[in-house]
Structure 1
C-alpha cells in the first residue's frame, strides 16, 4: 500500500536536543511548548506524523505544521547556534520563539497609549473635582466624561474597565 512520499528527516544538533529535553523536564512548561517540543523530539527519533498524532492525541495537521516550521528554519537556527555570543539560554529562547504562535492579524487599537494614560490619570482624580456628584468613578461616567473632555473620541464603558484593569495589573507588578 502506498502511503505517499517519505517525510524529510528532521535534524537537531546535540546541543539543541539537550536544551529542548532539559526544558521539558522543568516543572512549569506551558502546554503548547510541551506539545511542540515532543513533536520535534519524536520527529527527530524518526516517528511519522501519524504516530506522533496518535501518541499525543494531536491533529495530524498540527504535527505537520510544527515539523515543517522546524525544517524551514533549521539552517538559520544552526547558523545562530554557531555564533560566538550564543549561550544556551539564547539558543533555547530562539528555539522557543520558533515554536511560538505567529502574530495574528487584527484591527489596530483605536486608542493610543497616551490616551490610555490620560484615561488612567483621570480615573485617579475624584469626580467631585469636575463637578460630578459622585464619590468614585464608575465605568459609564468615566467613559462619558473622557469623551466629553476630548481625551478619547469614542470608548465603551467595558473598554474603560479593561484599560484600568491592565493599568492596575502592571502597577502592582512594580
Structure 2
C-alpha cells in the first residue's frame, strides 16, 4: 500500500533493531511500545489511517509520531520536557514546614512525642508558616527530603568509662589473643549468659497447617504455664553449647552452669578457660571474679562493658533458639519447654560451626572515634 503521508520512513538496521525490541518488550512503558509500532508500520509503507486502526490510536497520533521520527529519528520518540503546573507554595514555606517537622512537638508546648502530617499542617498554618495546605502535600515534601524526621532508632550511650578497654580485650579473645599473646591450644573462650522469663505457653487450640492459599495458623490465645531461665555457655571457637534450665536466674544456677562446664573435658584440664559475661546480677562485679577464681583456679571471668551484651556471642545462639524452637511454640508445661530447649541444644551441637565474627578492636576504635567526633561521648559525659 502506498503511504498517504509526505513523511516517508526509511529505517537503518540499527533503528529497526531498537524499535523491534521496544515493540516486543514486556516491561517497556506502553507509550514507547505504541510509538515503536507506529514507526515500524510506517516503515513498511502503511498509511496513517491503517496504522491507527492496527495500533488502536487516532489517526492524528499516528501522524504525529511518524512526523516526529522523520524529523528527529529515535530521539523524536521521547517525551518533550513539560513545565508542569506552577508552584503553589514558595521554597521558603516548604523549608519552614520541614524545619518544623525536624523539631520536637514538646518544644512547641504540644503533648506529643512525634508529628503527623495533619498535626504539622494544623500547627504550621496556625503559626503563619505556610498558607492552607493539605496533609498529603506535606507528606510529599517530607518524603522527597533527605532527612526523615519521623524515623527513629533506639540506642544507649556508652556510659562505661572503661568501655574501650573492656570491649577490646573481649574482641581480642574472640581472635584468640589475651594481653597481646596468642592463646595456646589448651586455652578456651566461653561466652555465657542466661535467658530469663521463658514462658511455657499452652495454645487454647491446636495450630492448623499451611494449605493452598492459606498460611500456617497459630492460635493467639494461650494459657500460661509458668516461666523458667536457661543458662548457656557457648565455646566460641569450638561452636559448642552447654546449657541447663533453672526455675529462675541467680548466682546459684550460674555457679551450677560453671561447674557443669569446668568438670568436663577439655575444660577441666585446660590451662585457662576465659568466661565472657555481661554485668547481670548472676555474675556481676569483683565478687563474681573472686568466686570463680577460688572455685576454679584455671577459670578467668571477663566482664563486658555495661550495656554491651551485643558483644556477647551467646546472644546470637539465644536468638537462634528463640526463633527456631520457642516462638509460636505450644508447650504443655515447664517440663515440656525445658525438654524442647535442651533437645534443640543437642541438635544444634551436631552441626554447629563457629559464628563468622568479624568485628575487631579496629572496628571498635573507629566506632568510638566517630561517636567522639560527633560529640556523642562528650555529651554523654
TM-score, normalization: structure 1?
0.66
Shift of residue 164, structure 1, vs aligned partner = 2.7
**Aligned residue number for residue 119 of structure 2:** 141
Shift of residue 33, structure 1, vs aligned partner = 0.2
Q: Is the 8 A contact 2:93 2:129 kept in 1?
A: yes
Shift of residue 144, structure 1, vs aligned partner = 3.6
Q: Is the 8 A contact 2:117 2:139 kept in 1?
A: yes
**Aligned residue number for residue 49 of structure 1:** 48
Q: Is the 8 A contact 2:23 2:34 kept in 1?
A: no
Shift of residue 114, structure 1, vs aligned partner = 6.2
The runs of 5 or more residues in structure 1 that have no matched partner are 75-94
Shift of residue 128, structure 1, vs aligned partner = 1.3
Deviations 1:50-100 (A, max 9, x none): 1111112111111111112112224xxxxxxxxxxxxxxxxxxxx2x5223
**Aligned residue number for residue 19 of structure 2:** 20
**Aligned residue number for residue 128 of structure 1:** 106
Deviations 1:143-165 (A, max 9, x none): 24334566545533332123234
Deviations 1:1-52 (A, max 9, x none): xxxx931211222221122223334431110000001001110111111111
| Residue 73 (structure 1) aligned with residue 67 (structure 2) | no
Shift of residue 109, structure 1, vs aligned partner = 1.3
| Residue 29 (structure 1) aligned with residue 28 (structure 2) | yes
Higher strand share: 2
Higher helix share: 1
Report how many residues are paired. 144
Q: Distance in 2 between matches of 1:28 and 1:112?
A: 38
SS at match of 1:70: helix
Greater radius of gyration (CA)? 2
The runs of 5 or more residues in structure 2 that have no matched partner are 149-381
SS at match of 1:19: helix
RMSD of aligned Cα (Å): 2.9
Q: Distance in 2 between matches of 1:146 and 1:60?
A: 51
**Aligned residue number for residue 4 of structure 2:** 6
SS at match of 2:113: coil
**Aligned residue number for residue 192 of structure 2:** none
Shift of residue 110, structure 1, vs aligned partner = 3.2
